[in-house]
Amino acid sequence: MTETTTTIDVCPAGELPAGASRIVEAGERKIGVFNCDGALHAIEDRCSHDDGPLAEGPFDPSTCTVECPRHGSLFDLRTGRPRTLPAYLPVETFPVHVVDGTIKLEVP
Amino acid sequence: MATPEIAIAAPDQLEGIKDSYEYGFHDSETDYAFKAKKGLSRQVVEDISSHKDEPQWMRDFRLKALEHFEARPMPKWAGGHMDGIDFQNIHYFVRASEKQGRTWDEVPDDIKNTFDKLGIPEAERKFLAGVGAQYESEVVYHQIREDLEKQGVIFKDMDTGLREHEDLVREYFSTVIPANDNKLAALNSAVWSGGSFVYVPPGVHVEMPLQAYFRINTENMGQFERTLIIADEGSFVHYIEGCTAPTYTTDSLHSAVVEIICKPGSRVRYTTIQNWSHNVYNLVTKRAVAYEGATMEWIDGNLGSKLTMKYPSIYLMGERAHGEILSIAFAGKGQHQDAGGKCVHIAPNTTSTITSKSISKDGGRASYRGLLEVAPGATGSKSKVVCDALLLDEESRSDTYPTIRIGEDDVDVGHEATVSKIGEEQLFYLMSRGLSEEEASGMIVGGFIEPFTRELPMEYAVEMNRLIELQMEGSIG
C-alpha cells in the first residue's frame, strides 16, 4: 500500500528568511514551518505533553529548537523529539523543500 | 538532624499558631552583607545576577523566566490556596555573609550558633559525608570529605557549581524542569540562589549521606534554592535535606526547584524532612529522570509549613528503570499538606511504587495528589500506588486526588486507598499495658508512619519520631 501525500504551498522562499517561522493549515491540523539558518523544517503544531499549541513558541534558529509556550519543553525541529521534559514523546515531522522558488510541504 | 539544645521563641509571635515548634527563634540581621528591598522586578533579578557575577546566559535565562512568571496565572487546580501570597511583600535576595566558610569557625558567630542549636556541625562529625548549610539566600558553609573529592565527587553550593563547573551545569540545568514548567518553577528560575550541585562519577558509591540544611531567618523572606544532582553510570548517592524557619506572624515563601539525572545503572535517594515554621508557604518542584536500569527514590517527609504543595516526580526513561516515592504528611492546626508524587513510565519493563501516608489532627488538612502514567510502548510496566490517611479527630480532613493514565495494554497497575481513625480497641489494648492515652496514640501514629522512618538513617529516624511526638503533644483531651 502506498501512502498518498498532499503537497501544500507554504509561501515564496523569500518570505521565510533564516530565523523566520510560520504556521500553515493542512486540512484539520496546523503545521509549523521553520527556517533554521537556511535549513527548512516542519513539525506539527501540537505539544505531545498536553496537546496544546507548539509552533508559536519561542524559536531558536541557532539550536534549531522551538519551546512549548505552555510548559517549556524544548523540541528539536530536525527530529521532532523533545530535548527537555515535561514532554517525552516526539511530535510528527514533515518533508519540506523549495521548488521553483516556492516552499512546499508534504503532508500524508 | 540532631536534637537542638536551646529553643527560643517570642511568645507573642507564637500566639495562635503552634506551641510545639521548637525552631521558631530568629537571629539579629544587623551584620548582614546585603538585603534586597521587598518586591520582584527586572531590576531585582538583574541585581541578583550581578551580585553573583554570573555568565550572560544565566542572566538571560533568569530574565526570560521572569517573563514566564509574570505571564502565567496562578494555577487554577490549586483551588485558591496560594492566593494569600503577596509576591511584592517578599525579600528575594538576602546575603547574610560575604564569604562561605570551609570550617565552622569561619562562619559568622550568630549563624554558627543557629546551626549549633540545630545540631548540624555535630551531625557532620558523626555520620555525614558532606554538609551544605544555607542561611537566607546563600550557602554559608560547605564541606565534603576529602576522600570523596579525590574520587571526583562534586558537592558544591549551586552558585559555586555554576562558577567552577559551568559546562556541566549548562548541559543539564533546566533540562528536567524548564523555566516555564509552572508558575513557581518560573519564579525560582528567575530568582534562584543557593541549593546544591552534586555530581557523582561513574561507579562511585557515596556510602554516607550528603546533607543540605536550609534555614530562613528574615521575616517575609523568600528562599529559592536550586539543586541539580547528576549521578553518572553505576553510581550511588543519598542526599538529605532539612529545613526550619523562625515563627513570625506574617508569611514567608520557600519555592525550590530540584532536578535529578540518574544515568544508566545509578541509584539516587533523596530524603527530605521538611519542618518549616507554620508561617511558610512551601511550594516546591522536584523531578527526576531515570535511565536504563537506574533507580530513583524520593523519601519525602512533610511536617511543617502553612501550606505545602509538592509532588516529587520520576520519569522512567530507560528500560528496567525503577522509581520509588514514599511520602508522609502531618497536618496539624492551620496546616494544609498537599503532597504526593508522580511516576511516568516511558520505557518497557519499568517499575514504580508510590506510598503516601498522611495524618491530620486539630483541623489540619492532608491531601494526596498523584499521577501514574504509562506511555504507549512501555510494555511490561508495573506500578503500585498506596494512599493511607489517618484522621485523629472529627475536625480534620483528608482528600485524595489520584490520576492514572494508561496508554498500554500489557501493564500491571494497582491503586489502594484507605482512610482510618485510631481504633478504640487499639487504644484500649495499649492503655491496658500502662500507657497513657497520649502515649498510646503516639505509638499508633509512629507505627502508621513506620514505612517512612525505617527508610531513614538511624539518627534521622530518632529525630523524626521525636518530631512526631511533639506534633502529637496535647492531642488528647
**pLDDT tens per residue, range B339-356:** 999 999 999 999 999 999
Q: What is the least distance, in Å, from the CA of A56 to any CA of chain B?
A: 15
Per-residue pLDDT tens over the stretch B64-122: 999 999 999 998 888 888 888 999 999 999 998 888 888 898 888 888 888 888 888 88
Residue B309 clears pLDDT 80, i.e. is over it:
yes
A84, B375: Cβ pair inside 8 Å? no
For the segment B432-448, the average pLDDT, to the nearest whole number, is: 92
| Alpha carbons B126 and B426: distance in angstroms, whole number | 38
pLDDT the model gives residue B416: 94
- B157 closest CA partner among B130, B183, B188, B120: B130
pLDDT the model gives residue B477: 46
| Alpha carbons B74 and B182: distance in angstroms, whole number | 9
Secondary structure of residue B198 in the 3-state scheme: strand
For the segment A23-33, the average pLDDT, to the nearest whole number, is: 94
B337/A contact by beta carbon, under 8 A: no
A71, B68: Cβ pair inside 8 Å? no
Partner residue facing B178 (CB), from A72, A88, A89: A72
| Alpha carbons B187 and B387: distance in angstroms, whole number | 31
Per-residue pLDDT tens over the stretch B228-276: 999 999 999 999 999 888 888 899 999 999 999 999 999 999 999 999 9
Whole-number percent of chain B with pLDDT over 90 = 74
pLDDT the model gives residue A1: 53
pLDDT the model gives residue B476: 55
Band of residue B474 on the pLDDT scale cut at 50, 70, 90: low
A85, B174: Cβ pair inside 8 Å? no
Whole-number percent of chain B with pLDDT over 70 = 95
pLDDT the model gives residue B1: 39
Q: Which residue has the higher pLDDT, B80 or B420?
A: B420
Band of residue B3 on the pLDDT scale cut at 50, 70, 90: very low
Q: What is the least distance, in Å, from the CA of B104 to any CA of chain A?
A: 39
Residue of chain A with shortest Cα separation from B316: A88
Per-residue pLDDT tens over the stretch B284-297: 999 999 999 999 99
Across all residues in chain B, what is the average pLDDT?
Answer: 91
Q: Which of residues 270 through 299 in chain B touch A, CB cutoff 8 A?
A: 287, 289
B181, A86: Cβ pair inside 8 Å? yes
ipTM attached to this prediction? 0.85
Band of residue B20 on the pLDDT scale cut at 50, 70, 90: low
Per-residue pLDDT tens over the stretch B365-401: 999 999 999 999 999 999 999 999 999 999 999 999 9
C-alpha separations of B2 from B148, B254, B467 in Å: 24, 23, 11
pLDDT the model gives residue B16: 37
A84/B contact by beta carbon, under 8 A: yes
Q: What is the DSSP letter of B99?
A: S
* Helix H or strand E encompassing B50: helix B42-51
For the segment B128-138, the average pLDDT, to the nearest whole number, is: 92
Residue A54 clears pLDDT 90, i.e. is over it:
yes
Per-residue pLDDT tens over the stretch B163-193: 999 999 999 999 999 999 999 999 999 999 9
Band of residue B475 on the pLDDT scale cut at 50, 70, 90: low
The residue assigned the cell 511516568 is B344
Residue of chain B with shortest Cα separation from A69: B180
Secondary structure of residue B143 in the 3-state scheme: strand
C-alpha separations of B382 from B320, B415, B416 in Å: 10, 11, 14
Burial (0-12, 13-18, 19+ Cβ within 10 Å), B97: buried
Partner residue facing B175 (CB), from A69, A70, A84: A84
For the segment A51-79, the average pLDDT, to the nearest whole number, is: 96
Residue B213 clears pLDDT 50, i.e. is over it:
yes
A71/B contact by beta carbon, under 8 A: yes
pLDDT the model gives residue B471: 78
pLDDT the model gives residue B464: 83
C-alpha separations of B59 from B45, B48, B99, B170, B189 in Å: 8, 9, 22, 13, 10
Neighboring chain A residues of B177 at a CB cutoff of 8 Å: 85
| Alpha carbons B427 and B436: distance in angstroms, whole number | 9
Band of residue B23 on the pLDDT scale cut at 50, 70, 90: confident
Burial (0-12, 13-18, 19+ Cβ within 10 Å), B367: buried
Residue B431 clears pLDDT 80, i.e. is over it:
yes
Band of residue B411 on the pLDDT scale cut at 50, 70, 90: very high
B180, A85: Cβ pair inside 8 Å? no
pLDDT the model gives residue B237: 98
Counting Cα atoms < 13 Å in the Cβ hemisphere of A17 gives 0
Ranges of beta strands (E only) in B201-335 are 210-215, 222-223, 226-231, 236-244, 252-254, 257-262, 267-274, 280-290, 295-302, 307-310, 313-316, 322-331
